[in-house]
A and B are shown apart, each in its own frame.
Chain A
């Protein structure tokens, strides 16, 4: 079964540390537990989203800069 990475906060999701930098994690890549996969901006402050478990073949479910709710699935992985 696919593992999910959920948003800890409501806000705006970012896949990059800043507009000119590469994404934290490419689609299809593998991540280690604790790795940062994106940022959620809530009320003008930024919070890191980390993978709780290791996994492979990361598939993002929301686009960069999409609004997200707390608990929304941001990505799935195997």
Chain B
């Protein structure tokens, strides 16, 4: 499919906007970069063919304003809109508005986003496709009586989750029956206030699990997987370090979870790049479906590193109606990749945000650095603290860890406080080297290893 001469509007900012502009250019598209008043000098604006103002610094008044973003894209003569991740990427009303304005939305159809964004509907779809789910309620709980019955069956501790929640928000842990009585009505009220939907459901709490997720790509008919990632090192339920493949899996387990993920993607006629997230209990050797992200993810480069697929280019092509350029048997896996997120935060001061000015910058050769930084760039204080991602690849996991240590040592970002010292310490940690971590590992580790103290 020839896309040259088509115009892509990039409705995001930061490092992912840079990534999208570059992928689009490689496909021959013209790019128009959205920017708020605080982002007029960002790297993606400098790289794109043109830029379009979408409003004041606060995201709610610019990048999150559907009417404004759609109008800016239409006025720029865009044929398509790429939402990146975060902001409006998983908002079905945005996808609908883009298509209603006569443009292509680079992602799944609005109804797919809506179905997978509703945790209960997503769980039902997963179950129907034969994807393993956590023991819990069949759907939204209708009152306390139903909650008591399910809790008696699955046991404590358990989690109450908001049907409309996500990204770790809207979750409560319940230790016993007495707490359940109190927490169900509170959780419903909180869900109504936070998400505009009071629906809640309950699930067994898996206490020491690993976070494994499968990257999929679909063209609306056919789907393939690009293997899995592991993202168990998390802080405040936010991922900080990602690897591919998940070294904790056997080949049989890997094949099973990847095949199940493709089944679900095909069942919902998935179009674009997406991720199925799972908890993996490595003692019971069981997977539990958590949620599906209907967008490109921050950590997609580790999957690209081991498979050689350009996921962003592929999602743009299929959005314009092309079939997937690959068959499953074309997707192969080489070596091991690690991505660390570099945030403008001071790990020695409880991760205090540091919106400084980037001074001299040295980036080692032979590694991938997806970033929004350039020398002299003043980081705006209004958005996420992610500055960039360092991605290393090696023949196996020890080689990738060695490459990471070398890369971090060779990297300088003067004038900034960043999370690089955290990653340097983790790369030397015996538990990380032995790969015996779980999703609560990093918070415990930080409590015992105060950085810079």
Tally inter-chain residue pairs, CB-CB below 8 A.
35
Q: Which residues of chain B (298-348) have a CB below 8 Å from chain A?
A: 344-345
Residues of B within 8 A of A12 (CB): 57-58, 381-382
Given known pairs A43-B355, A67-B38, the reply for A10 and B381 (CB within 8 Å) is yes
Which of B38, B58, B381 sits near A42, CB closer than 8 Å?
A: B381
CB <8 Å contact, B57 and A42: no
B383 contacts partner chain A, Cβ-Cβ < 8 Å? yes
* Shortest 6 CB-CB contacts between residues of A and residues of B: A43-B353, A10-B381, A43-B385, A11-B381, A42-B381, A42-B353
Q: Closest CB-CB distance, B14 to chain A, in whole Å?
A: 11
Q: Closest CB-CB distance, A45 to chain B, in whole Å?
A: 6
CB <8 Å contact, A10 and B355: yes
Chain B: interface residue total (CB-CB under 8 A): 14
CB <8 Å contact, A9 and B381: yes
CB <8 Å contact, A45 and B353: yes
Which A-chain residue is minimally distant from B356 (CB atoms)? Answer: A10
B111 contacts partner chain A, Cβ-Cβ < 8 Å? no
B5 contacts partner chain A, Cβ-Cβ < 8 Å? no
Residues of A within 8 A of B345 (CB): 43
Q: Closest CB-CB distance, A20 to chain B, in whole Å?
A: 9
CB <8 Å contact, B58 and A44: no
Q: Which residues of chain B (19-73) have a CB below 8 Å from chain A?
A: 38, 56-58
CB <8 Å contact, A67 and B383: no
Q: What are 26 residue pairs bridging A and B, where the CB atoms are less than 8 Å apart in the complex?
A: A9-B381, A10-B355, A10-B381, A11-B381, A11-B382, A12-B57, A12-B382, A42-B353, A42-B381, A43-B353, A43-B355, A43-B382, A43-B383, A43-B384, A43-B385, A44-B353, A44-B383, A44-B384, A44-B385, A45-B352, A45-B353, A65-B58, A67-B38, A67-B56, A67-B58, A67-B382
Bound Cα distance A44, B351 (Å): 12
Q: What mask results when residues 24 to 65 of chain A are scored 1 for a CB within 8 Å of chain B, else 0?
A: 000000000000000000111100000000000000000001
Which residues from chain A sit less than 8 Å from chain B, CB to CB? 9-12, 42-45, 65, 67
CB <8 Å contact, A67 and B57: yes
Bound Cα distance A12, B56 (Å): 11
Q: Closest CB-CB distance, A13 to chain B, in whole Å?
A: 11
Which B-chain residue is minimally distant from A68 (CB atoms)? Answer: B381
CB <8 Å contact, A42 and B355: yes
Bound Cα distance A11, B384 (Å): 12
Q: Closest CB-CB distance, B317 to chain A, in whole Å?
A: 33
Which B-chain residue is minimally distant from A44 (CB atoms)? Answer: B384
Q: Closest CB-CB distance, B40 to chain A, in whole Å?
A: 14
Bound Cα distance A16, B384 (Å): 22
Residues of A within 8 A of B382 (CB): 11-12, 43, 67
Residues of B within 8 A of A44 (CB): 353, 383-385
Known: A11-B382, A45-B353. 18 other contacts (CB 8 A): A10-B355, A10-B381, A11-B381, A12-B58, A12-B381, A12-B382, A42-B353, A42-B355, A43-B344, A43-B355, A43-B382, A43-B384, A43-B385, A44-B383, A45-B352, A67-B38, A67-B58, A67-B382
Residues of B within 8 A of A67 (CB): 38, 56-58, 382
Bound Cα distance A44, B169 (Å): 14
Bound Cα distance A25, B355 (Å): 28
Q: Closest CB-CB distance, B300 to chain A, in whole Å?
A: 22
Q: Closest CB-CB distance, A40 to chain B, in whole Å?
A: 8
Q: What mask results when residues 371 to 397 of chain B are scored 1 for a CB within 8 Å of chain A, else 0?
A: 000000000011111000000000000
Q: What mask results when residues 393 to 418 of chain B are scored 1 for a CB within 8 Å of chain A, else 0?
A: 00000000000000000000000000
Residues of A within 8 A of B58 (CB): 12, 65, 67
Bound Cα distance A67, B383 (Å): 12
Which of B352, B355, B381, B383 has the most chain A CB atoms inside 10 A of its CB?
Answer: B381
Residues of A within 8 A of B352 (CB): 45
Which B-chain residue is minimally distant from A65 (CB atoms)? Answer: B58
